Chain A
Amino acid sequence: MADISTAPKRRTRIITAGVVYTLVVLIVGLAAGTRPNNLLIWVFSCLLAAMIASGVVSGWMMMPVRALRIEPRRGRVGEPLLIRYEIRNASRVIPAYDLHVVERVNPKLLELAGEAWVMHVGPGDRVHAEGVFRPLRRGPVRLATFEVSSTFPFDLLRKVLVFDQGAEVLIHPKVHAIRPAILSRVTAGGIGGQRLSSEAGGSDDFFGVREYRPGDSVRQIAWKRLAGTGRLATIERSRSVPPRVRLLLDLRAPTSALKVADGEVARELEEEAIVLVASFLALADRLGYEYSLSVAGVATPPVSLRRGHFHREKLMSVLAAIDLDAARTTGNGLSASDERATIVVVHPDRTDTGIAPATSWHFTARQLDSLLEPASGRETIA
């Protein structure tokens, strides 16, 4: 847990308004010095006092301010990434106003879409603010320091508190809306199609009988068994399991070895392939399939066939963490112990059927546009 009370580094920055104001004060001071007019001297005195008061009040105000970044775990390319901050005013007397929170991050990775701004933090208060960023690239983004600054009260100086709180956000690849028919076609009637599970579930088919447990439905009680043995038993029904699909991303060939047409960039093709896989994953999740991911050419942890939000996020994280600059390995990323499922292979540049069994389906990154839902185009889906 990051320590909110860690003293930040303090900085004072000159701003344009302050420079202009100083020039005005100097001019008025010059006039007051040469012209025997006490009211002009009074105006100059107030202008000068405002400068001093600005420094004193803002310094006094910012002294007890502490901030904590509430780390976002992940973001997605093309979707708003909200980074929240907890701003605390440890002072018992003076409130803090007009606090801007600025994240020092590589703008090529995260683009600011809405700064975090706090209008007021009272003495002893904790206030949450959120900054909105637009993730531009997939992969881990390192958050190192952020600044809490204010030009309050007179907009002459910027008092800055620099908080050094390291964190990492994993940016998931962009997801497009792919036509559902594609996935249902490739799984229909194949080895990954709908079937009965070997586990108890909620269908009408008999699975077995077990001892009654409190909470079991009265409807499921095996009355005949009760009559025979005198002990309560519950009938278990089998459940149908959804289709299974295993996505295989083919990254065996190094980026430089990819065959690209004129105007195409090899690295972009690889990224498109990752986006296509992510879109398939999202679609599979949406359709209720069980799905898994293997990456050929890059070492990734083995993932079994599952479904659900957490599983999807886990696989997205795997995709997000792929380092395309790392050395590629051989092998297709599949293992003999993998559960049976329809295999969908995505290649960056061209199809290589040798990577997977003959029943597998192959796509290339160039097909992404043709697979999208007509209405959505390249719109991102959540």
Chain B
Amino acid sequence: MTLLRQHRLASFLLALLAIVAFAIAELDFGMLFVGVVLAVLSWYVTEGPRGRTIPDWASNTLVVGAVAWNGFQFLMRGEVVDAMGVLGRVLVWILIVKLYARRTPSEEKQRFALATMLVVAGCLESVQFAFGLLVIAYTVVAVWSVMLWRLARSAEAARASRFATNGFAPPLEIAIGRRVLPQFRGLVAVSVLAVLCGGIGVFILFPRFAEISGGSGGRGRSSVTGFSDEIRLRRGDRITESRRELFTVRWTDPDGSPRRLLRPLLLRGAVLSWYDELGERWVANRGEAGIRTVRTPEDGKFATLSRGVPADIGPVATAQIEMRSYATEVIFSVYAPIAIATSEPRSIALDPSTLILRDVSTDRMSRYWSYELQVQQQPSAEVLDALTAGSDPTERALGFPVEAVRPIARSILEEVRRGGNLPPEPGVDTSASERFLYGREVARAIVAWMRTNFRYTTDLSAFPRVEGEDPIVSFLARYRAGHCEYFASALCAVLRSLEIESRIVTGFIAIEYDESAEQYIVRESNAHAWVEVRTGADAWMAVDATPEESLLQLQERNRSFVDGFRWIYGRLEFLWNSRVVSYDASTQSTMAGRVGTGWREAVGERFSQLLARMRAIAAELSLGSAGGAWFATIAVCISAAGLAWLIVVFRHRRLRRWLRLGTESPIEQRRLLRDAAFYVDALEALEAAGFSKPTHLTPRAWATALAGMDAVVGERFAEVAESFYMVRYGGIRTSQREATTYQSQVLALRAALRQKRRGNRVD
């Protein structure tokens, strides 16, 4: 049986898909390679010409070994947050072992359960588009596989039950109808469609109580470059450079001409001012104090982000940002934006202490949008005053909790001081402006020193974690190599230890410029972290310790021909992120509101249009007040005609089925539909009374059989059958008189059936 043989392939594909999905979710390409190779090899070993499987004891031993080894690894150096990853890896190895094991019904069930658990574990690890696609593919293959499994299992059980009788029962001959394969495919398609449609329905309606996080996921041993509003210094050994196109930036000078800036464009997304020593991470201070919200107008005009911004601020540049594949509420902007314009009305919140913008609109369905920002290339004091109004004046970005950084910072300062002429260290009576100047100069000097003495790398596997030592200390004193997060963290830690106010900013660095389109292309790999040093009461200056040339080299190294086609994937990924991953309670309620009002508006609009058209026709034809009655009459006539047409169509369809008119000529078909309808009426009357005519019996034989059950009914139907033979095979057109006779025979049959029914009731 071809159909039953497909089951093994479906089962194998399901397991393979689960392994690939989990490896993608974990971004563990080693596991992906090894898992796929072992799985494919298992297909050859178990289903190949020799068809070997490993014995049960070996399978069980390997499973226990996999659990023990991974458990041991987890206990020795695992983190609680990676528990799901460890569980998934255990499941992968067990699943691979099971692929080599003997195929019994219980093994098949276990394999299916393992694959499903693996996908669920992957869901807890990742929300990436590629993984999402694999989950959908898994759903489809799972439906196919389960349906095949059901058939194969039943066939095996039926065979086994007969085999167990030791030859008493004859072997099973599988009973099948015609066209089993195409019909099975059709049913699978229907089931898949039902599951997917139902799944989408449940997904949309599922109550969401918590805020959905739309992060890039991937909390495995590796991580992908991308914006984050926190920095975890222990996140991964290796960073995978994602070339996904996120958005484009067109920088326009005050004179209206687009151009490329001399320095890379830093687009701020989050300000991290607090270091969590225990968690070894930088986090944002999420204060709600002083946050201002503005609503952008519909016509695409600029909305000023603060009322205090003077009208005559002089020439301003414009940064036009167009989202390509990124769905986020963060609005990336250069420092100190003055005004914002959006492609559609949005609510924008400005945090005056950080000057970070966020989209706080409740409607998050359409996050694919563009916006423009007006900025001064050198923000003036008035503008900064206006923008930062309402921020906490006492907030200071000073001090660093890790004591070990302080002596390192002092030694760095001394080394830097030896290399150049820095202003003297501020005393107690030093003015604020001198302090700010000192801080700026020290920051610049340390940046220059770091760029010379530190090495940029995204591969940290050669720099293992030192127990009990903060990663910033390790970076500064031990390895002197890392990526931008380490550079920024170290610079900020050193500056703070030297009592210079500073904070970390995360966002993107725009360095790839498309000359033909005259715009920057910002990719996921352009996610960046840098430092801001306070240079005034409300002013901050960006300093970036990461060597710029290293970033450019990295950019060039990763460039490939695929970049030209990446936008297709990017669009799909954007849809995935905006419509699926970030679908939350607010989007749900917005959509419900839209649907609720939308259909009412649509129906109401159509109805009013119809009424208006009817009035126009009535006026055109001068029908006056009788117009309504005329239209009602016409509507009733059309409805009646439609109903009659439906009745005729269904009756003809029924007659064709009963009379089997498939091979007759069209003329003969028309004749029989007209003349032999009485016979079908008779058969239907019999069927309604519980006497369904078996297809293998001729009308006459059926009449004889009926006579055996009820003499009168049989006799009446015998008359009908004789008439039918005359009509069907006589080849003569039925006269009106004959037609009446035939109808009377049917009536007599109906009467006999009624009589029989009454008789039964009396009994």
- Chain A residues in the interface with B (C-beta under 8 A): 1, 3-6, 28, 32-46, 48-50, 52-53, 56-57, 61, 80, 82, 87, 89, 94-95, 97-98, 100, 112-115, 117-123, 125-129, 132, 134, 151-155
* A5 close to B692 (CB less than 8 A): yes
21 residue pairs A–B, Cβ–Cβ below 8 Å: A3-B691, A6-B690, A36-B213, A37-B124, A38-B581, A39-B127, A39-B581, A52-B194, A80-B168, A89-B177, A114-B161, A115-B161, A122-B180, A123-B183, A125-B178, A127-B175, A127-B177, A132-B165, A152-B151, A153-B187, A155-B146
In the complex, the chain A residue whose C-beta lies closest to that of B136 is A42
Docked pose: A45 CA to B203 CA in angstroms: 6
Q: B191 interface residue, CB < 8 Å from A?
A: yes
Q: B422 interface residue, CB < 8 Å from A?
A: no
Docked pose: A1 CA to B132 CA in angstroms: 57
Which of B204-212, B493-501, B555-563 sits within the interface? B204-212
* A40 close to B124 (CB less than 8 A): yes
In the complex, the chain A residue whose C-beta lies closest to that of B154 is A98
Q: B694 interface residue, CB < 8 Å from A?
A: yes
> Which residues in A have their C-beta under 8 angstroms from that of B146?
153-155
In the complex, the chain A residue whose C-beta lies closest to that of B205 is A45
In the complex, the chain A residue whose C-beta lies closest to that of B694 is A4
B621-659 vs A, CB cutoff 8 Å, 1 = contact: the mask equals 000000000000000000000000000000000000000
* A41 close to B206 (CB less than 8 A): yes
Q: Give B196 Cβ to nearest chain A Cβ, in Å.
A: 8
Docked pose: A176 CA to B235 CA in angstroms: 82
9 nearest A-B pairs in the assembled complex, by CB-CB distance: A49-B198, A125-B177, A5-B692, A122-B177, A45-B202, A53-B194, A114-B169, A132-B169, A114-B162
Q: Which of B124, B147, B161, B198 contacts A52 (CB 8 A)?
A: B198
B9-50 vs A, CB cutoff 8 Å, 1 = contact: the mask equals 000000000000000000000000000000000000000000
SS of B interface (majority): helix
* B124 close to A114 (CB less than 8 A): no
Docked pose: A117 CA to B169 CA in angstroms: 14
* Contact residues of B between 155 and 212, Cβ < 8 Å to A: 155, 158, 161-162, 165, 168-170, 172, 174-180, 183-184, 186-187, 190-191, 194-203, 206-212
In the complex, the chain A residue whose C-beta lies closest to that of B132 is A39
* B191 close to A117 (CB less than 8 A): no
> Which residues in B have their C-beta under 8 angstroms from that of A128?
175
Docked pose: A80 CA to B581 CA in angstroms: 61
* Contact residues of B between 122 and 167, Cβ < 8 Å to A: 123-124, 126-127, 131-132, 135, 139, 143, 146-147, 149-151, 153-155, 158, 161-162, 165
Docked pose: A229 CA to B206 CA in angstroms: 108
* A36 close to B690 (CB less than 8 A): no
In the complex, the chain A residue whose C-beta lies closest to that of B186 is A95
* A5 close to B162 (CB less than 8 A): no
Q: B520 interface residue, CB < 8 Å from A?
A: no
* A38 close to B580 (CB less than 8 A): yes
Docked pose: A197 CA to B583 CA in angstroms: 99
SS of A interface (majority): mixed
Q: Give B363 Cβ to nearest chain A Cβ, in Å.
A: 17
Docked pose: A112 CA to B3 CA in angstroms: 27
Of B131, B180, B201, most buried by chain A (CB within 10 Å of CB) is B180
Do A49 and B201 contact each other (CB < 8 Å), given the known contacts A38-B581, A154-B150?
Answer: yes
Q: Give A343 Cβ to nearest chain B Cβ, in Å.
A: 36
Q: B619 interface residue, CB < 8 Å from A?
A: no
Of A28, A46, A127, A151, most buried by chain B (CB within 10 Å of CB) is A46
* A152 close to B206 (CB less than 8 A): no
In the complex, the chain A residue whose C-beta lies closest to that of B193 is A53
Do A120 and B176 contact each other (CB < 8 Å), given the known contacts A6-B690, A43-B123, A94-B187?
Answer: yes
In the complex, the chain A residue whose C-beta lies closest to that of B183 is A95
Q: Which of A49, A87, A132 contacts B199 (CB 8 A)?
A: A49
Looking at chain B, what size class is its interface with the partner chain? 35 or more
Q: B595 interface residue, CB < 8 Å from A?
A: no
Docked pose: A89 CA to B695 CA in angstroms: 13
Q: B120 interface residue, CB < 8 Å from A?
A: yes
* A117 close to B175 (CB less than 8 A): yes
* Contact residues of B between 462 and 487, Cβ < 8 Å to A: none
Known: A38-B582, A45-B203, A46-B195. 4 other contacts (CB 8 A): A38-B203, A113-B168, A134-B165, A155-B149
> Which residues in A have their C-beta under 8 angstroms from that of B90?
none
Q: B601 interface residue, CB < 8 Å from A?
A: no
* B151 close to A97 (CB less than 8 A): yes
* Contact residues of B between 106 and 133, Cβ < 8 Å to A: 119-120, 123-124, 126-127, 131-132
* A45 close to B198 (CB less than 8 A): yes
> Which residues in A have their C-beta under 8 angstroms from that of B147?
97, 152-154
- Chain B residues in the interface with A (C-beta under 8 A): 1, 3, 119-120, 123-124, 126-127, 131-132, 135, 139, 143, 146-147, 149-151, 153-155, 158, 161-162, 165, 168-170, 172, 174-180, 183-184, 186-187, 190-191, 194-203, 206-213, 580-584, 687, 690-692, 694-695, 705, 709
> Which residues in A have their C-beta under 8 angstroms from that of B178?
122, 125
Docked pose: A45 CA to B196 CA in angstroms: 9
Docked pose: A290 CA to B175 CA in angstroms: 42
* B201 close to A39 (CB less than 8 A): no
Docked pose: A95 CA to B415 CA in angstroms: 84
In the complex, the chain A residue whose C-beta lies closest to that of B702 is A1
Docked pose: A132 CA to B162 CA in angstroms: 8
* A1 close to B176 (CB less than 8 A): no
Do A98 and B150 contact each other (CB < 8 Å), given the known contacts A44-B202, A153-B187?
Answer: yes
* A114 close to B165 (CB less than 8 A): yes
* B184 close to A95 (CB less than 8 A): yes
* A113 close to B162 (CB less than 8 A): yes
In the complex, the chain B residue whose C-beta lies closest to that of A79 is B168
Q: Give A94 Cβ to nearest chain B Cβ, in Å.
A: 7
Q: Give B4 Cβ to nearest chain A Cβ, in Å.
A: 8
Q: Give B87 Cβ to nearest chain A Cβ, in Å.
A: 13
> Which residues in B have their C-beta under 8 angstroms from that of A154?
143, 146-147, 150
* B194 close to A56 (CB less than 8 A): yes
Q: Give B698 Cβ to nearest chain A Cβ, in Å.
A: 14
Docked pose: A32 CA to B202 CA in angstroms: 12
* B168 close to A53 (CB less than 8 A): no
> Which residues in A have their C-beta under 8 angstroms from that of B120?
28, 40, 43
Do A36 and B211 contact each other (CB < 8 Å), given the known contacts A57-B194, A113-B168, A119-B151?
Answer: yes
> Which residues in A have their C-beta under 8 angstroms from that of B143?
50, 153-154
* A95 close to B177 (CB less than 8 A): yes
Q: Which of B180, B200, B209 contacts A45 (CB 8 A)?
A: B200
Docked pose: A122 CA to B3 CA in angstroms: 14
Docked pose: A97 CA to B154 CA in angstroms: 10
* B172 close to A114 (CB less than 8 A): yes
In the complex, the chain A residue whose C-beta lies closest to that of B25 is A39
Docked pose: A28 CA to B195 CA in angstroms: 17
Do A155 and B198 contact each other (CB < 8 Å), given the known contacts A43-B123, A44-B206, A95-B177?
Answer: no
> Which residues in B have their C-beta under 8 angstroms from that of A61?
187
Q: Which of A53, A100, A125 contacts B154 (CB 8 A)?
A: A100
Q: Give B329 Cβ to nearest chain A Cβ, in Å.
A: 15
Docked pose: A36 CA to B695 CA in angstroms: 59
* A49 close to B194 (CB less than 8 A): yes
Docked pose: A115 CA to B207 CA in angstroms: 46
Q: Give A66 Cβ to nearest chain B Cβ, in Å.
A: 9
Q: Which of B175, B179, B202, B580 contacts A48 (CB 8 A)?
A: B202
> Which residues in B have their C-beta under 8 angstroms from that of A37?
123-124, 127, 212
* A33 close to B180 (CB less than 8 A): no
Q: Give A42 Cβ to nearest chain B Cβ, in Å.
A: 6
Q: Which of B161, B183, B190 contacts A120 (CB 8 A)?
A: B183
In the complex, the chain B residue whose C-beta lies closest to that of A90 is B692
* A42 close to B212 (CB less than 8 A): no
* B150 close to A49 (CB less than 8 A): no
Q: Give A175 Cβ to nearest chain B Cβ, in Å.
A: 16
Docked pose: A97 CA to B149 CA in angstroms: 12
Docked pose: A80 CA to B165 CA in angstroms: 10
> Which residues in B have their C-beta under 8 angstroms from that of A94?
187, 190
> Which residues in B have their C-beta under 8 angstroms from that of A5?
687, 692
